[in-house]
Amino acid sequence: MRPSCFAALALCAAACNPARDNAGDNMLDVARLPDYAALRSSSNNRYVLSNDDSKHLMPGETIVIGDFDGPGVVTHIWFTAAANEFGWPRQYRLRVYYDGYWIKAYPAPADTLRAKKELIEALTRRLFNHVEYGLNVPGKRLDEARAAFAAESDPQRKRVLGAMLAGAVFNRATDIFTKLVEIQALGVTIESDNPLMRQCGKHLQEALALGKMVLHRSGEEGIDELWGEPFKAFAFPIEEFYKSRYVKIAHTLRSIDDLRDALVTTFAASAAFNGVEPLLRDFAEAAKLKSETLRTEPDIFDVWTSFVVSAEKLSAFRPAFGSEPTRAEQQLATEALQLIHDGKDLISYIARARVQMPKSTANFIERCQAYRSSLLARSRSARGSSASRPPAAMNSPR
């Protein structure tokens, strides 16, 4: 079905002026000329007697609804949809542009204690999904976890106990916040300077500091960016937290593209790896779509399936060295398949956690460069050996 939409858009952009942040405090300011320009972009029809200014989009097509130069603030966006358009919320997607990427935009919930509680709970569950096992220690065991951490002297064991302590502190903070929301639901006002609110904030800050001891479930490196998200959700307005997530997702997409490009470049010069490039590109696109799609989205079934299937197709790739590959070619194939496997896993980790893993990414790109150098060196060596060897059909001079 061809989607249609009657859209009216009003965008007001004002240049930021820090010097006038408190201008509203003076009633005389209403008589002063503004030092900014108010702009608007709207759908329209040049025939004044017609109200038909709708935009008809085909599947996969996009339309720019506002394009302004310079810094400013978008203060209002308004859309309407045709009344007979069934399922229109699933047919259109609003995206925001951050650091070179158009990212799916999601409406931020109201900035209430209940909304913060639900957000922190969701972030905490996601956090424990991506970190090493054994860290989801109940908050009621916080004192035990703290004592075990303080008593340990071995550095390796202390790191693990510190990670467990971070989990216990996180859960204690969540326990406190949950009870505060329940009390508020009974009609009791909870102020921001409430002692339990302050204690919750202190726990989240402590967990953030301990998060440097926490490793990703793969054991590759720490993901303290992910570990700090519940504290940000507690400390900042929800709308500001959403904006920070868009920036992180943009960085995530950039990491996936960097890993994809490194793998594509690595195998581009070898005919034996013809066919791997489209598989790498398909998997990277599916991973990027997965990283910006929430599990509550209607299209998660298609997004997750595409992600898994593209990974399986990439895993099934085999280089074509001929029916009887030499030992050197077999070694090259083994190293290449391990590189593809590790790259696929790293992209998957980044896409699912929705944060960068800069240390692991840099190390993997170095491995790709080293393998490509080895591949080129062996190729030159093989050509040199072939050129110095007399043709089999030619008789040697007597």
Long-range pairs for 31-40: beta carbons < 8 A, 24 or more residues apart: 37/13, 38/12, 38/13, 38/14, 39/11, 39/12, 39/13, 39/68, 39/72, 40/10, 40/11, 40/12
Where residue 323 falls among pLDDT bands split at 50, 70, 90? confident
Q: What is the pLDDT of residues 216-264, one digit of tens each?
A: 888 777 777 777 788 888 888 888 888 888 989 999 999 999 999 999 9
Distance CA 55, CA 7 (A): 7
> Which position has the higher pLDDT, 96 or 28?
96
Per-residue pLDDT at 4: 37
Q: What is the pLDDT of residues 45-63, one digit of tens each?
A: 777 666 677 777 777 777 7
Of 205, 229, 60, 51, the closest CA to residue 129 belongs to 229
By residue count, the chain amounts to: 398
Q: What is the pLDDT of residues 129-170, one digit of tens each?
A: 888 999 999 999 999 999 999 999 999 999 999 999 999 998
Task: State the average pLDDT over residues 347-364.
Answer: 92
For residues 238 and 109, is the Cβ–Cβ distance under 8 A? yes
| 88: pLDDT strictly greater than 70 | no
Per DSSP, the chain holds a count of helices (H) and strands (E) of 12, 4
Per-residue pLDDT at 17: 42
Scored b (16 or more CB within 10 A) or e, 348-370 reads bbbbbbbbbbeebbeebbebbee
Task: State the average pLDDT over residues 169-175.
Answer: 91
> Which position has the higher pLDDT, 15 or 297?
297
Task: State the average pLDDT over residues 290-318.
Answer: 93
Q: How far is CA 268 from the centre of its chain?
A: 27
In the structure encoding, which two tokens stand for residue 42, read together?
């709207």
Report which residue type is found at 297. Answer: E
Task: State the average pLDDT over residues 94-109.
Answer: 85
Q: SS3 of 378, please?
A: helix
| 195: pLDDT strictly greater than 80 | yes
